[in-house]
Structure 1
Amino acid sequence: MLLPVVTGSPGSALAVLRAAVSAAVQTVLEAGPEVVVVVGDGAGGVRFGPGDGGDLRGFGVDREVPFAGRVRPGGRRPPLPHLVGAQLLDDAGHTGSRLGVGPDDLAGVLRDLPGPVGVLAMGDGSARRSEKAPGALDPAAAPFDAAVAAALASGDAAVLADLDAAEGARLLAAGVPVWRAVGAALLGRPVTAELRHDDAPFGVGYLVASWTAR
């Protein structure tokens, strides 16, 4: 939904979502990070960097998407969340260092990287928010996403860290592993938070927030 090359001209709901995402990415970059860490599910312990990349052929679009710089022969193939994150950074004009990791690697990367680090956390809310959703409608989906939205709005890292992983999986909330990792990494740190978007126009919860940890 975030890549125009896949969806074409957006309707009003997509336009609002993309504007919120663009603003969030700009907030990350305005802080002047030495490295932007793109964290998303599906990495399987692999870290992605220069030369890695994938494509959008699974969406009917014959387009290569590099993660960082040109794709090299034999480069690793990042999962879709990392490819989308990389494209968002490219669209924002970011040419600095970036690193793609899975949720289990986030804490270690943040501990080991020197200097200021930006994090672009990729993941959706529940895909069971309506009858037209990818999954069957579940009455628990909206309250689950609402609790996540409240935590994102208030900067409550503890709530994110304590999200129910099993319930998130049942509700097809792909962002739960990422949110849990971000929450765990920021436990005990003051956070300035802004919830930029909270909607489910296609039966999938789309949440966009900016956090600045001190």
Structure 2
Amino acid sequence: MLVAAAVCPHPPLLVRAPELAPLRAACQDVISALRAAEPDVLVVVGGADTTTAYDGTAAGTLKPWGLDLGAGDGDPVLPLSLTIGRLLLGHAPDGLQSVAFDAAPADCLALGRSLAERGRLALLVMADGSACLTTGSPGRHEPAARPHQELIASALAEADPGALAALDPAEADRLWLSGRAALQVLAGAAGTSRLRGRLLEDVAPFGVGYFVAEWR
């Protein structure tokens, strides 16, 4: 059963850049709420090229992004999203779970449901929004990106798993919404649970949408 969830973005600069200090502080706020829920199991979920379960002690590094920072033990194997999640968390979670960026919604929902079967579950969900929000975005500016961003922000604020489950993969791909699959894992884990949402941040400092939210 999902008892708490936190949604955070995963740009490499999040862990260090002064201009992202408010975003970083908001992430620590929602992560503290995860701990306060006293879960049996805490799992970090994030998008990657493939769907893979990792041990909570698995290592990741930000060296490919020019930052000499890392977390975990052994050779770095974690994708960016889980590496940032591991660094924000500050300790080894009970599990690290990547989900393929192109995973079908049904597979994402099923993965979330399987995680929720592990006991009182807390999820740290690493998910970026659209990268097509402005003319300075990494992707080409798309007018449809802003309303899509607002839809997700509303779903997070209202703890609405149905709205996240309904996200269209083709539209998400067109709008460079890399967090779609991870958000749908959250929807699957939440199921019919009655949780309350709180949206702390909905910003786009580099033309990429970043959300910080909690469900309790």
Comparing 98-107 with 21-30, greater Cα deviation is found at: 98-107
Match of 1:101 among 97, 101, 104: 97
Task: Find the structure with the greater CA-based Rg.
Answer: 1
Q: Classify the secondary structure of the residue corresponding to 2:35.
A: helix
Distance in 2 between residues matched to 1:53 and 1:200, nearest whole Å? 28
* Pair 1:55 & 2:61 matched: yes
Aligned position for 2:84: 84
Instruction: Name the CA shift for 1:25/1:51 in 2 (closer, same or farther; >3 Å).
Output: closer
**Residue 146 of structure 1: how far off its partner (Å):** 0.2
Q: Classify the secondary structure of the residue corresponding to 1:194.
A: strand
- Gaps of at least 5 residues in structure 1 are none
Aligned position for 1:25: 31
Instruction: Name the CA shift for 1:120/1:51 in 2 (closer, same or farther; >3 Å).
Output: closer
**In the alignment, is the contact (CA less than 8 A) between 1:134 and 1:203 conserved in 2?**
yes
**Residue 76 of structure 1: how far off its partner (Å):** 6.5
Percentage of identical aligned residues: 33
Match of 1:170 among 162, 167, 174: 174
**Residue 50 of structure 1: how far off its partner (Å):** 4.3
- Gaps of at least 5 residues in structure 2 are 1-12, 100-107
Instruction: Name the CA shift for 1:50/1:124 in 2 (closer, same or farther; >3 Å).
Output: closer
Aligned position for 1:209: 213
Q: Classify the secondary structure of the residue corresponding to 2:87.
A: helix
Distance in 2 between residues matched to 1:54 and 1:211, nearest whole Å? 27
Comparing 35-44 with 167-176, greater Cα deviation is found at: 35-44
Can you list the C-alpha shifts for 1:184-208, whole angstroms capped at 9, x where unaligned?
A: 3223221111011111121010111
Q: Quick one: higher RCO (CA 8 Å, sep 6+), 1 or 2?
A: 2
Aligned position for 2:6: none
Query: Normalized against structure 1, the TM-score is what?
Result: 0.84
Distance in 2 between residues matched to 1:23 and 1:62, nearest whole Å? 25
Query: Whose strand fraction is larger, Structure 1's or Structure 2's?
Result: 2
**Residue 107 of structure 1: how far off its partner (Å):** 2.2
Distance in 1 between residues matched to 2:213 and 2:84, nearest whole Å? 17
Q: Classify the secondary structure of the residue corresponding to 1:24.
A: helix
| Residue identity opposite 1:203 in structure 2 | G
Distance in 1 between residues matched to 2:49 and 2:196, nearest whole Å? 28
**Residue 34 of structure 1: how far off its partner (Å):** 2.5
State the Cα RMSD in Å.
1.7
**In the alignment, is the contact (CA less than 8 A) between 2:112 and 2:187 conserved in 1?**
no
| Residue identity opposite 1:127 in structure 2 | A
Distance in 1 between residues matched to 2:70 and 2:87, nearest whole Å? 11
Q: Classify the secondary structure of the residue corresponding to 1:174.
A: coil
Aligned position for 2:14: 2
**In the alignment, is the contact (CA less than 8 A) between 2:115 and 2:121 conserved in 1?**
no
